[in-house]
Amino acid sequence: MARYYPVHPVNPQARSLSQVVTTLRDGGLIAYPTDSGFALGTLFGNKNGMDRIRRVRGLDERHHLTVVVSEFAQLGTYVDMDNREFRAVKASTPGPFTFILRATREVPRAMQHPSTRTVGVRVPHHVTALALLAALGEPLVSSTLILPGHTEPLDDGWQIKETLDNELDAVLDSGDVGSEPTTVVDLTGEEPVVLRVGGGSTALFT
């Protein structure tokens, strides 16, 4: 059964954040609010947590999972970027974007696309998501919480608690989430490819 943690959208309570961090460090799977709806999150490198994300979302290993960090400067640890990619990502973060880039050796094979060795990366623009990352002190592995057969992310924390009570360990809810998923952009080719249009403008990539 998932624990439910309602927090203030401007000043999320440190005690609740600490309890969610403990859940993550114990190997748990959580739902947390972002600027693009709720996302599923687990500790970086948690293979079981990644398997649970894929199970909840009905995804196979070829669907990119995302490394979520609190600031642009941290991305270089997890993905390789040439000058073009660097400028494009920097201009669009923080915000409702997921970028597909070549993974570094710091990214476990279980997170990488099996044939292209790529991974998603994201820097959210959301107070509670950033506060959680700060309290955790390391990245999350995430995926937008879109249920199988749906196209939009879930945006109600209590509904998530009721719907996925047996699939999650915690729901962190500040009551303020974006209504659209991230815009997903693959930057690994000669030209950017928009894989999903969401909350982020595609003007830089089309």
H helix intervals, 150-189:
157-163
Whether the per-residue pLDDT at 206 is higher than 90: the answer is no
What the chain holds in terms of domains, given with CATH numbers, is 3-196 (3.90.870.10)
Report which residue type is found at 166: N
Report which residue type is found at 164: L
Provide the pLDDT for residue 179.
84
| Structure confidence by residue, pLDDT tens digits, 56-87 | 999 988 889 999 999 999 999 999 999 999 99
Note whether 41 and 140 are within 8 A (CB). yes
Whether the per-residue pLDDT at 12 is higher than 90: the answer is yes
Provide the pLDDT for residue 193.
96
* DSSP bridge partners of 196: 184
97 — pLDDT class (breaks 50, 70, 90): very high
| Structure confidence by residue, pLDDT tens digits, 29-42 | 999 999 999 999 99
Q: For 111-121, what is the mean pLDDT?
A: 94
**Which residues neighbour 162 within 8 Å (Cβ) at sequence distance 6 or greater?**
none
Note whether 181 and 34 are within 8 A (CB). no
Whether the per-residue pLDDT at 204 is higher than 90: the answer is no
Residue 30 CA to residue 129 CA, distance in Å, equals: 12
Note whether 200 and 57 are within 8 A (CB). no
Whether the per-residue pLDDT at 22 is higher than 90: the answer is yes
